[in-house]
Amino acid sequence: MALRPSSLPLRVRLFEMAPRDGLQNEPGAMVPTATKIELIHRLANAGIRHIEAASFVSPTWVPQMSDATEVMQGITRTPGVVYSALTPNLKGLENALAAGVDEVAVFGAASEAFSQKNINCSIAESLERFEPVLKRAQEANVRVRGYVSCVLGCPYEGDIPPEKVAQVAKALYDMGCYEISLGDTIGVGTPLAAKRMIEAVSRQVPIDRLAAHFHDTYGMAIANLYAVMEEGISVIDAATGGLGGCPYAKGASGNVATEDVLYLLEGLGIETGIDLQAVLDTGHWITQALGRKPTSNVALARVLS
Ligand code: HMG
Ligand code: MG
């Protein structure tokens, strides 16, 4: 039994990203709707309780997510699982509500250039655009998560000051987002930078309302997660198979793999309620369906051993 250092959380809530962040940037043909639905079923069966299942964005901008309604309506719900989706504006929200989502998310950025490339407006305009989304979601009794992208660096602007991240996170929190997920969109962060960013944001937003959403482009995500758990972070976004990337962030390779996060947490004696072997099987299954191997180190090691 591992001895958990007292600076680390007892339990971590894992938010699974593979069906959305994992597949949104998949090149080539559309991933079949049936494959997306089976992926979501397998993740729920593995014990994952928060799944970002779809994205109600413009189909012109992100064609891979254009079957969001069919995916949401095609899944068989597991009681206790929250199925969420991205909604960049009111149109996305109305479509998501009609499709029966449990929860939605708005997504902003700490970088002006990335905001323009990703959602075609400035940071200030995005915050204005999110207000009616929050209001309408509250009327519908649907919780809203908020993302801030480029929290540890931007593909267009380079370094991003932690104070800028804190400012955008606070605006989303004050607007009513129940949780703010902090995205290292291009995976350039290192542990001290990640800690300093969390310190700055947690002066504006309570630490138990923050989540870490780290991509693994430079192989630093696991180290960065350990560092921010020491700061009090206990919600982690990850994608099975290490799938993922943002179409508007060159160099944004996969999210940190769920398998690797679970292996880390198990080794630390931190509870998640998720079955690592079932996630490993799912990672092999989905990456095979996509014609490649998982990028998860744990998945590769377990196949080799
Ligand atoms: P726009 O072109 O400025 O929108 O796009 P618009 O309001 O001018 O509308 C243009 C057309 O799009 C209209 O259709 C609208 O109806 C339609 P037309 O009249 O020309 O036929 N439209 C929509 N259709 C379906 N669903 C909608 C929708 N909205 C407008 N929701 C917009 C603005 C925000 C829509 C666009 O830029 C967009 O969809 N961007 C999404 C980009 C995206 O999904 N990026 C990846 C997700 S973010 C991410 O991965 C980062 C994250 O993981 C965290 C991290 O890693 O940092 C979250
Ligand atoms: Mg992401």
pLDDT at 108: 98
Range of the domain at 131: 13-304
By the 8 A CB rule, do 110 and 95 touch? no
66 lies in a domain? Answer: yes
* Residues that are catalytic: 246
154 lies in a domain? Answer: yes
49 lies in a domain? Answer: yes
8 lies in a domain? Answer: no
By the 8 A CB rule, do 16 and 238 touch? yes
Number of domains in the chain: 1
* Closest residue to atom 30 of ligand 1, CA basis: 58
Q: Which amino acid is at 294?
A: P
pLDDT at 6: 80
DSSP letter (8 states) at residue 21: I
Q: Which ligand is nearest to the CA of 95?
A: 1
By the 8 A CB rule, do 87 and 93 touch? yes
Question: Residue 206 phi/psi, 5° resolution?
Answer: -55, 140
Q: Which residues line ligand 1 (CB under 6 A)?
A: 21, 24, 55-58, 61-62, 86, 88-89, 91-92, 107, 118-120, 147, 149, 183, 185, 213, 215, 246-248
pLDDT at 305: 57
Question: 234-266 as b/e, with b when 16 or more CB fall inside 10 Å?
Answer: bbbbbbbbbbbbbbbbeebbbbbbbbbbbbbbe
Q: Average pLDDT for consecutive 10-residue bins of the chain (305 residues)?
A: 79 98 93 98 98 98 97 98 98 98 98 97 98 98 98 96 98 98 97 98 98 96 98 98 82 89 97 98 96 93 76
1 lies in a domain? Answer: no
pLDDT at 28: 87
pLDDT at 35: 98
Which one of 57, 97, 149, 255 would you pick to mutate in the ligand 1 pocket, going by the greatest count of ligand atoms within 8 A of its CB? 57
Query: Is 0.95 surpassed by the pTM of this model?
Result: yes
274 lies in a domain? Answer: yes
Residue 74 belongs to domain with CATH number:
3.20.20.70
124 lies in a domain? Answer: yes
Q: Which residues have their alpha-adjacent CB atom under 5 A from ion ligand 2?
A: 21
207 lies in a domain? Answer: yes
